[in-house]
């Protein structure tokens, strides 16, 4: 249930394995909504497994690395995928572009799509059923995002925290001054962060994100532009495309913790299972990996054992990114101004140590499973 990333990806795997799969989505139809995001080598590996890499390459922009500097020009991060392997890269794209590719493959694989299906209650008595009358199902996959309604009814303990910080997003045409192949960021204190991600596709798009404290009122368009240009003067031409506040999207972040991601005839995937702040840009990639691992477990084991194995196999990878994201986020988005000073001193030094820099690139690529553990693609 839930047609974001985890739902359709898992649906394709299971439909192709011969299962009867129905995907319930509350949105009335496929819509071009959602911010730009960075697909990492781990996410791309799952798309390759699904035979969708070529299609996705057609609607994405190759990204060679991440660059982040302070307002005074001190380089905090300059991470290039090719330092880890010449064939590694990221892909900038829009949520809707990836979704279109996944949904087509899902229906082509025999999956049934049900738009406009808001599922709010389920019962676990005598098999899983939705209380709108659908079911019983052999297995329900909860892929309904960070604010999942059904997660609480699965009987699995969960803790959900909302970050006080989020972001304003805008997608426009890329203007001169922003490279087409780098996720570029500039930071001030820990209260000021601005990033630009090329998301290419048919048009030369650029996705802007600006850090906001969610309980602070929007200062008005002119004042907001002034603050942004104060940090990033080179964005002047790009910002001319923002004529109204309605063109800005607001995003909040959640931190979801669960001891396990399965119950009886229920598995939880993606943000519903382990939402993170997008500081390390991993959510979609983890969701794709969840889908691949769950499908592998279901092919290998009987249902009960497969679900337990799914939790077991995902624990290290997800656990590393939960830890790293919680640890890193306050250095870039928080009220702890002293952390900003520490960041500006320590990150440039860390970048000079080749081993540490390679660990940072592996982290960015989505590959880490622990301080010394790493996935191989």
Q: Which of 76/344 has CB closer to ligand FAD?
A: 76
Burial class of residue 121 in the structure, from the number of CB atoms within 10 Å of its CB (0-12 exposed, 13-18 middle, 19+ buried): exposed
Q: Which of 13-21, 102-110, 234-242, 267-275 is the region at the interface with ligand FAD (rule: CB under 6 A)?
A: 267-275
Residue reference for tokens 């439909």: 15
CB of 322 to ligand FAD, least distance (A): 12
Strand 129-130 versus strand 122-123 pairing type: antiparallel
Tell me the C-alpha to C-alpha distance, in Å, between residue 198 and each of 45, 137, 172, 176, 235.
21, 41, 10, 12, 14
Q: Which of 290/344 has CB closer to ligand FAD?
A: 290
Phi, psi dihedrals of residue 317, rounded to the nearest 5°: -65, -55
Helices H, strands E: what count in the chain? 11, 17
Any contact of residue 121 with ligand FAD (CB under 6 A)?
Answer: no
Q: Which of 71/251 has CB closer to ligand FAD?
A: 251
| Terminal-residue alpha carbon distance, the chain | 28
Among 48, 149, 162, 313, binds ligand FAD (CB under 6 A): 149
**Taking CB under 6 A as the rule, which mask of x and - marks residues 4-23 in contact with ligand FAD?**
xxxx----------------
Among 231, 251, 350, 351, binds ligand FAD (CB under 6 A): 251
Any contact of residue 365 with ligand FAD (CB under 6 A)?
Answer: no
Any contact of residue 118 with ligand FAD (CB under 6 A)?
Answer: yes
Burial class of residue 36 in the structure, from the number of CB atoms within 10 Å of its CB (0-12 exposed, 13-18 middle, 19+ buried): buried
Residue reference for tokens 């997008």: 278
C-alpha 50/C-alpha 239 separation (Å) is 38
Residues present in the chain in total: 377
CB of 44 to ligand FAD, least distance (A): 11
**Taking CB under 6 A as the rule, which mask of x and - marks residues 154-183 in contact with ligand FAD?**
-------------x----------------
Any contact of residue 93 with ligand FAD (CB under 6 A)?
Answer: no
CB of 9 to ligand FAD, least distance (A): 8
Torsion from C-alpha of 49, 52, 53, 55, nearest 10 degrees? 180
Any contact of residue 62 with ligand FAD (CB under 6 A)?
Answer: no
Any contact of residue 320 with ligand FAD (CB under 6 A)?
Answer: no
Q: Which of 91/232 has CB closer to ligand FAD?
A: 91
Tell me the C-alpha to C-alpha distance, in Å, between residue 360 and each of 82, 91, 311, 320.
13, 18, 26, 13
Any contact of residue 326 with ligand FAD (CB under 6 A)?
Answer: no
Q: Which residues bind ligand FAD (CB under 6 A)?
A: 1-7, 24-27, 35, 37-38, 117-120, 143-145, 149, 167, 251, 253, 270-272, 278, 281-285, 287
């Amino acid at each position: 249930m839930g047609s974001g990333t985890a739902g359709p990806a898992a649906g394709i795997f299971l439909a192709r394995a011969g299962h009867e799969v129905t995907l319930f989505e509350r949105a009335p139809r496929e819509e071009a909504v959602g911010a730009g995001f960075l697909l990492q080598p781990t996410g791309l590996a799952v798309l390759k497994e699904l035979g969708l890499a070529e299609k996705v390459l057609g609607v994405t922009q190759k990204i060679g690395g991440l660059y982040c500097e302070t307002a005074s020009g001190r380089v905090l991060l300059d991470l290039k995928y090719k330092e880890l392997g010449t064939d590694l890269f990221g892909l900038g794209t829009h949520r809707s572009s990836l979704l279109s590719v996944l949904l087509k493959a899902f229906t082509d694989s025999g999956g049934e799509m049900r738009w406009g299906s808001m599922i709010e209650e389920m019962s676990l008595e005598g098999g899983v059923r939705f209380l709108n009358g659908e079911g019983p199902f052999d297995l329900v996959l909860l892929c309904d995002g960070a604010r999942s309604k059904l997660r609480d009814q699965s009987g699995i303990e969960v803790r959900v925290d909302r970050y006080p910080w989020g972001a304003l997003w805008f997608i426009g045409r890329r203007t001169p001054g922003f490279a087409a192949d780098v996720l570029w960021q500039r930071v001030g204190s820990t209260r000021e962060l601005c990033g630009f991600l090329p998301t290419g596709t048919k048009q030369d798009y650029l996705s802007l994100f600006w850090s906001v404290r969610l309980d602070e009122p929007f200062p008005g368009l002119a004042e907001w532009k002034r603050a942004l240009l104060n940090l990033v003067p080179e964005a002047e031409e790009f910002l001319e495309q923002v004529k109204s506040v309605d063109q800005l999207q607001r995003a909040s972040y959640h931190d979801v913790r669960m001891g396990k991601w399965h119950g009886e005839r229920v598995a939880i995937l993606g943000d519903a299972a382990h939402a993170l702040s997008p500081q390390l840009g991993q959510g979609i990639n983890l969701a794709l990996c969840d889908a691949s691992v769950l499908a592998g477990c279901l092919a290998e084991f009987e249902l009960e054992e497969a679900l337990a194995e799914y939790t077991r196999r995902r624990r290290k990878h997800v656990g590393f990114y939960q830890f790293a994201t919680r640890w890193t986020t306050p250095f870039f988005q928080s009220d702890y101004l002293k952390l900003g000073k520490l960041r500006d001193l320590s990150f440039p030094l860390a970048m000079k140590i080749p081993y540490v820099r390679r660990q940072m690139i592996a982290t960015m690529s989505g590959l880490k499973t622990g301080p010394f553990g790493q996935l191989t693609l």
